[in-house]
Amino acid sequence: MAGTGLNACREAFERLKLGQPRVAAHMGLDPTRITAGIVSFEAGFDRGYLKKDRNNHKQLIAEVEAYRNSFGTVSSSKALQIKRANDKATKAHAELEVVKGQLYQVMTQNIQLVERVRYLEEQLKSLNNIAKLNVTQIRK
Q: Which three-class secondary structure state does DSSP give residue 15?
A: helix
In the predicted structure, residue 102 carries a pLDDT above the cut 90: yes
pLDDT of 77: 65
Give the residue from 58, 94, 71, 95 showing the smallest Cα distance to 16.
Answer: 71
- Which range among 61-75, 82-96, 117-131 has the greatest average pLDDT? 82-96
pTM of the predicted structure, to 2 decimals = 0.51
Contacts 24+ apart (CB under 8 A), 113-119: none
Specify whether the CB–CB gap between 37 and 47 falls below 8 A: yes
d(CA 34, CA 31): 5
Q: How far is CA 76 from the centre of its chain?
A: 24
All structural domains of the chain with their residue ranges: 1-72, 89-140
Residue 120 phi, psi dihedral angles, 5° rounding: -65, -35
Q: What is the pLDDT of residues 37-77, one digit of tens each?
A: 999 999 999 999 999 999 999 999 999 999 988 876 655 66
Give me the numbers of helices (H) and strands (E) for the chain, helices first please: 4, 0
Per-residue pLDDT at 129: 77
The pLDDT of 4-33, averaged and rounded, is 91
Q: What percent of the chain has pLDDT over 90?
A: 65
Predicted pLDDT of residue 140? 59
- Distance between CA atoms of residues 117 and 31, nearest Å: 60
**Residue 80 in this model has a pLDDT that exceeds 70:** yes
pLDDT score at 1: 45
CA distance 119 to 102: 26
